[in-house]
Structure 1
Amino acid sequence: MIRFATALFLGATAALPARAEVDIQSVTSPGGIEAWLVEEHSLPFVAIDIAFLGGTSLDVAGKRGAVHLMTGLLEEGSGDLDARGFARATEALATDFGFSSSPEEVSISARFLTENFDESVALMRDAIQKPRFDAADIERVRAQVLSGLSYSENDPNDIASKTFAAMAYGDHPYGTAEEGTPESVAALTRDDLLEAHKNVLVKDRVLVGAVGDITPEQLGKLLDAVLGDLPQSGPALPPEVEPKIAGGTTVVEFDTPQSVALFGQRGISFDDEDYFAAVLLNQVLGGGGFESRLMQEVREKRGLTYGVYSSLQSRDLSSAYMGSVSSGNDRIGKAIEVIRDQWRMTAEQGITQEELDGAKTYLTGAYPLRFDGNSTIAGILVGMQTIGLDIDYVKTRNERVEKVTLDDVKRVAGELLDPDHLHFVVVGKPTGVVNE
């Protein structure tokens, strides 16, 4: 999602004490809505994460940005409460809601105290089922979106991302900005937002993760109350798409002393049997911070950048292997050359046993730290369902990592890394770098 591949394998945030083991239950509501639950009754607190698959990729033709704008309005008043009334109610209950969209999903989160359970659930239900979309709120949030679009037009990183996406995905929703364009956003009507709401917030594409002071019975009632009256289904998802990435360089002229480069090639899907080998390979090549090969070669040895990174971006409808680097206009060409050389060398020679052991140690050691709070775990539960992982995955994940051999990684390096089709989009005024 753009929960990209490594999101479920790396990272940690702090909240509650870390748990040695997470017991995940599958819950089905009386109305047939499914969810995953981790009961934790030590604190009177509940975290709920809801994802509606499809997200902004379900924008109607000619209405780009409708789902993004609609999502931004879900917290701007619902039911009998206008925007100000909704904000006051959440504050009075010490309840926190989050609403966001991506090309993969519309995400809604709720965090509330057990003592305010019924009132918080009622607010969440109305926000999801009965958004007001009042005219004044539409114009206010529309103005915020247009302001963001205006800013992104002068942000080198955004320019690079949009240029690469358009090249790789063309007319597919992945090829255009989910926020829309100034023209498409300006033309959106309230009816367009109602249509977006009806198309995306549907029961047969909803995933739920719940953690905290809540029983399966309570969660079942919550699911039916919050989601039960939504449409059963919506329009079909867009088709899967293979990114069209040819080797070479695209230069976008931009007046700045430092160039930004986004690079990428075809990727690997979550369900590929070699996915864990690819994760370990990336950890060594560009995902391992200061210890990665790219960081060592581009920054530490040559001082060409402050940072260079790569990641597996395995999405619902496509997969790519991406990276980024920035450097002075007079040095970006050399940075690109070094990255290409490392890509080719790793494809041809693989990695060492020492590098593999270090990557395994990091990935297996960091993983348990992710399960350190209700909010974090609720998001993980939804993320696991999104990419089709089984409910026991958290118990077997590190074992799967440990089973990967050096021969596995070397083979995958040769099959996955494709230096001849590694493309760089460079935004700036790079010296000696041309379109090719």
Structure 2
Amino acid sequence: MKTLFFISCLVFSMPSFSAKYGANKIQTLKWNDLEVVWIQDERFPTYALSVYFADGALSDSAGEKGMTSAMFNLLTSGTRRYSQKDISDNLEFYGASYGPNTTHEYSTYSVGGLVKDSIPTMKKICHLFQDATFPKKEISKEKKRALEGIKNMVDSHGALARRAFRQISLEGSPYGYPVSGKMKDVRGITQNRLSKKLKYFNDEVKKRIYIAGPKEVLNLERVIAEDCKWTGKGSYVRKTEYEPIKSSKKAQIVLVTVPKANQAQVRIGRFLNRGEYEKRELLSLASEFLGGGFTSKLMRELRVKRGLTYTVGAFAAGQKGYGRAGISTFTKNETIGELLEVTKSTIDQIVAGEFPDHEFERSRGSLSGSYPFRFEVTSAYLSQLQFLDHIGAPYDELYQFQERVNKMTREQISQVVGDIFGWEKQTVVILGSPKLAKTLKKKFGKVRIVSYKNFL
């Protein structure tokens, strides 16, 4: 059900992103005091709809971590009228795509399909939100699946490294704990807790509807009001206050030990406080230049020149109340020291401006030129508008991205890489064999050693 939102062959001939790609098609409506953002798209008989809830996993109190994620995931487990199989068969009959996404700050539920089936599909989705009973049998099945998934991370070192890196690098903030909880939290999922969580999101949390499709999709107004029973009365918006996390003055080295590890998973990064992640275009370019593809600096230094890894990536981005920066790669146990040394020297060289103009220009052109293709799928375009509303940024930011990137200089990149990725500020997490401790201590001195079990 992937609807092309852009015509790729015209991208580079357009005078501006905003002129042709929907800026003049966005309308803001009110449905029973509920905010609605509609992108009128008459080209295809399809629609995409997303419901934004202004709260997420941060609403989970101590002892109920992971409950928000579980509630949204179990909405299709059954109601008083329909079993899980009935619900699945009905939505598949209409060829609908549907599902939730839960973050710490907000949650969404997205639906898509053919316009002619939009009313019966949304009636079913609304029925789930209003009448989900979370049958104990289905809860038990879901808990078993979730527990097995977490246990299996012991054999999926990449996933375990991501989980450990988030918790370690975001220590001291409200954002480090897994959205879906840990094993102890999964065991605490109950029918009563799920029902209370659903009632909270239905009645108290602020919502906003995002829709893309032809004019017929506006017929969903009545369904949202009468079947979902959502209005503008829900007004709660998650706001989080915390003490700024101070950057370290020396890189913090953490070894997460895991059995039977013949490779070392490496994650390098840090928490970004307010004031560090708001220049989103600049952070995107810095990430692209450092680790954004086969021609990035780290890829060329680590893989092409030395064969230390197969892949490496970098990111730096923010949400509403916090941001993160990270470098992700892996290597053989025997080359962990060299990989870290080359990563540090590559960052230092960029900060010192020791890179040719053509490398910078190539990364800048690649990021600018590929940007519109991120939104070929209508749902991706809706998600970006949703995100901009969430962080309180104007839609113009979306359409001015290319122009702003094209004006950036190599001096700006050196500065931001130093500010965000400077080695001494980083938390370096290595997930691998306990035997790596000796190598790391010899090279870096102080090494914190943690068992993988702390993250399950």
Bin the TM-score by the shorter chain.
Answer: 0.7 to 0.9
Task: Write out aligned runs for 1:278-293 (5 A).
Answer: 278-287=283-292, 289-293=293-297
2:12 equivalent to 1:18: no
**Percent same amino acid among aligned pairs?**
21
Task: Describe the shift of the 1:373–1:318 C-alpha distance in structure 2 as closer, same or farther (beyond 3 A).
Answer: closer
Match of 2:430 among 415, 426, 436: 426
2:77 equivalent to 1:76: yes
Instruction: Give distance in 1, aligned partners of 2:305 and 2:274.
Output: 33
Instruction: Give distance in 1, aligned partners of 2:67 and 2:141.
Output: 15
Partner of 1:8: none
- Give deviations 1:33-63, integer Å, cap 9, x for gaps: 1122211122221111223233212111111
Partner AA of 2:234 in structure 1? Q
Instruction: Give distance in 1, aligned partners of 2:82 and 2:376.
Output: 35
Instruction: Give the RMSD, CA atoms, in angstroms.
Output: 2.8
Partner AA of 2:439 in structure 1? G
Gaps of 5+ in 2: 8-19, 448-456
Partner of 1:186: 187
Give the TM-score taking structure 2 as reference length: 0.84
Instruction: Give distance in 2, aligned partners of 1:269 and 1:49.
Output: 28
Task: Write out aligned runs for 1:344-423 (5 A).
Answer: 344-349=348-353, 352-423=356-427
Stretch moving more, 274-283 or 61-70: 274-283
Instruction: Give distance in 2, aligned partners of 1:181 and 1:175.
Output: 12
Q: What is the CA-CA distance between 1:419 and the residue it aligns to?
A: 1.3
- Give deviations 1:96-122, integer Å, cap 9, x for gaps: 211232323322111122222221121
Alignment length, in residue pairs?
A: 423
Q: What is the CA-CA distance between 1:337 and the residue it aligns to?
A: 0.9
Contact 1:259 1:327 in 2 (8 A): yes
For 1:433, what is the secondary structure of its paired residue?
Answer: helix
- Give deviations 1:402-432, integer Å, cap 9, x for gaps: 2323333333334333211222111112371
Gaps of 5+ in 1: 1-12
Task: Describe the shift of the 1:14–1:360 C-alpha distance in structure 2 as closer, same or farther (beyond 3 A).
Answer: farther
2:318 equivalent to 1:314: yes
Instruction: Give distance in 1, aligned partners of 2:384 and 2:268.
Output: 28
For 1:290, what is the secondary structure of its paired residue?
Answer: coil
Partner of 1:47: 48
2:262 equivalent to 1:257: yes
Partner AA of 1:322 in structure 2? G
Partner of 1:98: 99
For 2:241, what is the secondary structure of its paired residue?
Answer: coil
Match of 1:337 among 332, 341, 365: 341
Partner AA of 1:338 in structure 2? V
Task: Describe the shift of the 1:416–1:178 C-alpha distance in structure 2 as closer, same or farther (beyond 3 A).
Answer: closer
Contact 1:62 1:184 in 2 (8 A): yes
Q: What is the CA-CA distance between 1:248 and the residue it aligns to?
A: 2.6
Contact 2:283 2:317 in 1 (8 A): no
Instruction: Give distance in 1, aligned partners of 2:196 and 2:351.
Output: 47
Task: Describe the shift of the 1:385–1:348 C-alpha distance in structure 2 as closer, same or farther (beyond 3 A).
Answer: same
Partner of 1:3: none
Q: What is the CA-CA distance between 1:201 and the residue it aligns to?
A: 4.6
2:140 equivalent to 1:133: no
Q: What is the CA-CA distance between 1:31 and the residue it aligns to?
A: 1.3
Give the TM-score taking structure 1 as reference length: 0.87
Contact 2:169 2:427 in 1 (8 A): no
Higher RCO, 1 vs 2 (CA within 8 Å, ≥6 residues apart): 1
Task: Describe the shift of the 1:87–1:356 C-alpha distance in structure 2 as closer, same or farther (beyond 3 A).
Answer: same
Partner AA of 1:277 in structure 2? L
For 1:41, what is the secondary structure of its paired residue?
Answer: coil
